Amino acid sequence: MKRGLEEDDAHEQAKRSRRTRWGHDEDEHGDAPNRKTSASPKALSDIVKRLSSVVQEKSTPEELQTLAAAASRPLIGAGGQLDAQAARARALAQASLLSLNVPSAKVSPSDLARRLYIGNLYYDLKEEDITNVFAPFGTIRSIDLSLEPGASRSKGFCFLEYEDVLAAESAVQVLNGTPLSNRAMRVGRPHRGNTNPNDSLSIGQEAIKNVPTKCIYIANVRVELNSQHLESIFSPFGAIHSCVMAAVSPLESGVHRGYGFMEFVEESCALSAIQHMNGFELAGQPLKVGKASEAAMLINLATSQDKVVRDGSGATSDGANGMAQPEKKPFGEDDVEKVKDTTETDDKCCLCLMNLVNRGEVDDELEDEVRGECGKFGSVKRVAIHELADHVRVFVLFDDAAGAAKAKQALHGRFFGGNQVQAQYYPLRQLEQQCYTSEFL
C-alpha cells in the first residue's frame, strides 16, 4: 500500500514538473546537458578551464594582447639561464589562448569573417554530417567539432572556416535556424565573452560589402519551384549565365533543399536582383536573396540535376555534357497561383510542431501542455500527436490563421524540456487524409 502511495506521489510530482516545460527550459546557450561527473585530481586542463573562464569574462582586448605577448616571451634570460617565471607565464598564457581559441597573432577582419560558430547540434553528429550541410555554400577550409573528453559524442557545437567571406556570410543567412537531425541549428559568428554578439554578426556583413560577385543565393524557395522557374522570375534583372538548386543528396540530385544559386552575366544585375528580390513573397514565402560565392555555383552545378546553364547564344544546356534541353515555358502568374493553392488559408490554420519530445517519450500530459500553451495565441480546435519512424510530430489545428501565425512566431525556436521546437505550417488536407509527412515537411 505504501509503495502504491509513493508511486502516486511520484506520478503527481512528474505531472507538476511537466507542466513547467514551457518557458522554464534550460538556458539556450547551454549546448550540452548537465552530467554528473566524479571528482578528479586538479589537472592542467582544470586550471586551463578556470583561467579561460576568467579571461573570457574579465579580459579586455588590451589584456588579451598582453596574454599573447606573454605566450611569446623568451624563455632564456640574461646569462643564458632558463627564466622559470617566464616559462610558467608562457605556459599558462598559451593554455588560456588555446582554450579560448584566441590566436596569438593578429587576425584580420576578413579572417574572422570566414569563420562560423554552429550550435545546438545533435550530439552524435560527425564532421561529415556538418560538411554535407555547409558544403553547398563554398569551399570549406576546416571544421573543429569539439568532443566530450573520453567519448565520441560532440559537445553540441563546432567551428567552421570557409575559404572566402561570401561563402561564410551566405551560410549564416540561409542556415541559421534550419533543422538538422530534428534540431534547429544556431549559425553565427564566434565572439568573446566581453564582445557584443551584434558586433560579431556585423563582421560578415561589413566584410562582403565591397566584394565583387556576379553570384547570388536564393533561399526559402518552395519545393514545387525549380531552377527554370527561378531563372524566368529573375530574368528581368539581366542576362543569367546559370541557375542551380542545391540537391538534397547525391542519391536525390533532382530534389532541392529549399535554396539555390544564380550567376548573372553582369555584377550590376546581381546587385539589382538582391536589392529588389530580397524579401519578395513568392508563392506565399518571402525569399532570401544575397551575395554568394562563385565556388557555390561550381559545387552545386557538379552535384545537382535541377539546373539551367546558358551559353553565349542564350540557348540552354545541362551544364554537364552540353546537350540542348527543350525550351522551357516562361513562368507566369498562373504558375504562381498554382503553387499558392498549396498554402491556402485553411493550411495556415494548421501547425506541425517537431522536436518537443523524442520517440518513446510521449506521455499523457503532452497534449494538455501543447493545447494550453497554444491556446494563449488563439482558439485551438484539435491537437493530434503522431510518432513517426524517427521522431514525433504534434499537429495543432486553430480556428483561424491569425492564431496559428501568432503561435508559429512565438513557438518556433523556443525550448520545451530542453529541446528547441520547430513550428511550421502543415497542409490541412494531408492531415485529414492521415498523411503525417508532406512533400515539403
How far is 400 from 397, CA to CA, in rounded Å?
Answer: 9
**Residue 152 buriedness (CB in 10 A; 0-12 / 13-18 / 19+):** exposed
DSSP per-residue codes, 231-245: HHHHGGGS-EEEEEE
> Beta-strand (E) ranges in 292-391?
307-310, 316-317, 350-354, 380-387
More confident residue, 61 or 395: 395
What is the structure's pLDDT at 324? 38
**pLDDT for the residue numbered 260:** 98
Note the pLDDT of residue 226.
Answer: 93
In the chain, % of residues over pLDDT 70 = 65
Grid cell locating 213: 560577385
Query: Phi/psi at 5 (nearest 5 deg)?
Result: -65, -40
The larger pLDDT score, comparing residue 116 to residue 62, is at: 116
pLDDT for 34: 46
- Work out the number of other CB atoms within 10 angstroms of the CB of residue 344: 14
Q: Which three cell numbers stand for residue 245?
A: 538548386
Query: pLDDT-based confidence at 428, cuts 50/70/90?
Result: confident
What is the per-residue pLDDT for 270?
A: 97
Of 172-176, 249-253, 304-308, 338-342, the one with minimum mean pLDDT is: 338-342
Tens-place pLDDT, residues 332-361 = 555 555 444 444 556 689 999 988 998 899
**pLDDT tens for each residue of 178-206:** 988 878 999 999 875 545 555 656 788 88
**Could you give the 3-state DSSP secondary structure of residue 40?**
coil
Residues 6+ apart with CB under 8 A from 422: 179, 182, 184, 353, 354, 355, 412, 413
Does 37 or 333 have the greater pLDDT score?
333
Lowest mean pLDDT among 23-27, 105-109, 315-319: 23-27
Greater pLDDT, 107 or 236: 236
Strands (E), 265-306: 281-282, 285-286, 288-291
DSSP 78: G
Considering the entire predicted model, what is its pTM?
0.55
Asked whether the beta carbons of 425 and 351 are under 8 A apart, the reply is yes
**Interatomic CA distance for residues 29 and 407, integer angstroms:** 23
Output 314 or 292, whichever has higher pLDDT. Answer: 292
Instruction: Compute φ and ψ for 154, nearest 5 degrees.
Output: -80, 170
Q: Residues 215-341: name the CATH superfamily.
A: RRM (RNA recognition motif) domain (3.30.70.330)
Give the span between the Cα atoms of 202 and 129, in whole angstroms. Answer: 27
| Residue-wise pLDDT tens digits, 269-293 | 999 999 999 999 988 889 999 999 9
Report the alpha-carbon distance of residue 217 to residue 399 in Å, rounded. 37
Kindly give, in sequence order, each residue whose CB lies less than 8 Å from that of residue 262, ignoring residues fewer than 6 positions away: 215, 216, 218, 230, 231, 234, 240, 242, 243, 244, 270, 273
Within the chain, all domains assigned CATH 3.30.70.330 are found at 109-208, 215-341, 344-432
Q: Over the chain, what is the mean pLDDT? A: 78
Q: What is the pLDDT of residue 334?
A: 54
- Paired residues of 117 in beta bridges: 159, 188
What pLDDT, in 10s, does the model give residues 126-160?
A: 999 999 999 999 999 999 998 888 888 899 999 99
Q: What per-residue confidence (pLDDT) applies to 21?
A: 77
Q: Quick one: which of 141, 136, 148, 146 has its CA closest to 163?
A: 141
290, 170 contact by CB (below 8 A)? yes
Confidence tier at 370 by pLDDT (50, 70, 90): very high
Which band of pLDDT confidence, cut at 50, 70 and 90, is reported for residue 420?
Answer: confident
Superfamily of domain 109-208 in CATH is: RRM (RNA recognition motif) domain (3.30.70.330)
Calpha distance 192→103 (Å, rounded): 12
Query: How buried is residue 64: exposed, middle or buried, by Cβ count under 10 Å (0-12/13-18/19+)?
Result: buried
CATH topology of domain 344-432: Alpha-Beta Plaits (3.30.70)
Cβ–Cβ contacts within 10 Å for residue 324, how many? Answer: 10
The stretch 400-419 carries a mean pLDDT of 86
**Contacting residues for 310 by C-beta, under 8 A, at least 6 apart:** 239, 240, 241, 242, 316, 317
Quick one: cell of 42? 586538479
| Confidence (pLDDT) at 266 | 96
Q: Answer yes or no: are the C-beta atoms of 116 and 188 closer than 8 Å.
A: yes
pLDDT at 376 over 90: yes
